[in-house]
């Protein structure tokens, strides 16, 4: 039976790092679904498409292939701004939902991390994890990450942004951020990556699949 591992959770909870480790450990392909909207926004701009045109942006989303996600600059601020403009369009969301479901349907399974994997994209996944941490811990991690890159940032500002992002993600009308009813909660507030990895493996190895 295919092993599909659905990992959801708020920003800076550590789900992306954990997803990569789990994918390598279990020999599965990994999809960081947060890059999809960024890739569509970037591709639309490169093609001269009006980012505020739902149908045109949807056509770009339907053209998306995995190699479009390999651009390291997709994690930057500019790509994030482009993503926010296209993410509101239903045709874009429909196309990217299909992309994610196709990725998850690979014969051996896959690891997907995002905001609505266990609730919307893969509701039948045999393993669902909801990775979280306190807003204060997530803001500290994000601040340290940016400082390490040489960007001057203020912890209190980042904390405000984290809380606002949580409020927006949990309150949106389509696919709000929330744990699936059968998801296992993994709070990484007090855990390093190795401890979180071991805890996740214990959950996965104990799940029926």
Q: Which residues are annotated as a binding site for ATP?
A: 9-17
Give yes or no for a contact between 93 and 150, defined as CB atoms under 8 angstroms apart.
Answer: no
Residue 89 CB contacts under 8 Å (≥ 6 apart), including other chains: 54, 57, 58
Helix, coil or strand: residue 49 = coil
Question: Residues within the annotated binding site?
Answer: 9-17
What tokens does 84 get?
């926010």
- Between β-strands 30-32 and 184-187, what pairing exists: parallel, antiparallel or unpaired? unpaired
Distance CA 139, CA 11 (A): 9
> Edge-to-edge strands of the sheet including 30-32?
30-32, 109-114, 3-8, 127-132, 184-187
Query: C-alpha distances in angstroms, 26 versus 177, 201, 208?
Result: 26, 9, 15
């Amino acid at each position: 039976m295919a092993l599909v591992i659905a990992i959801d959770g708020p920003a800076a909870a550590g789900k992306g790092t954990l997803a990569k480790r789990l994918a390598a450990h279990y020999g599965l392909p990994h999809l960081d679904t947060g890059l999809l909207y960024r890739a569509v926004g970037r591709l639309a701009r490169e093609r001269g498409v009006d980012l505020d045109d739902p149908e045109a942006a949807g056509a770009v989303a339907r053209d998306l292939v995995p190699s479009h996600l390999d651009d390291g600059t997709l994690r930057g601020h500019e790509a994030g701004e482009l993503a926010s403009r296209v993410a509101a369009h239903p045709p874009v969301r429909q196309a990217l939902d299909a992309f994610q479901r196709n990725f998850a349907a690979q014969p051996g399974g896959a690891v997907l991390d995002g905001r609505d994997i266990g609730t919307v994209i893969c509701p039948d996944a045999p393993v669902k994890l909801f990775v979280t941490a306190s807003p204060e811990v997530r803001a500290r991690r994000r601040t340290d990450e940016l400082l390490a890159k040489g960007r001057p940032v203020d912890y209190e500002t980042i904390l405000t942004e984290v809380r606002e992002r949580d409020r927006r993600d949990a309150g949106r009308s389509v696919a709000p951020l929330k744990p699936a009813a059968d998801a296992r909660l993994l709070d990484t507030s007090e855990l390093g990556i190795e401890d979180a990895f071991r805890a996740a493996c214990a959950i996965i190895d104990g799940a029926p699949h």
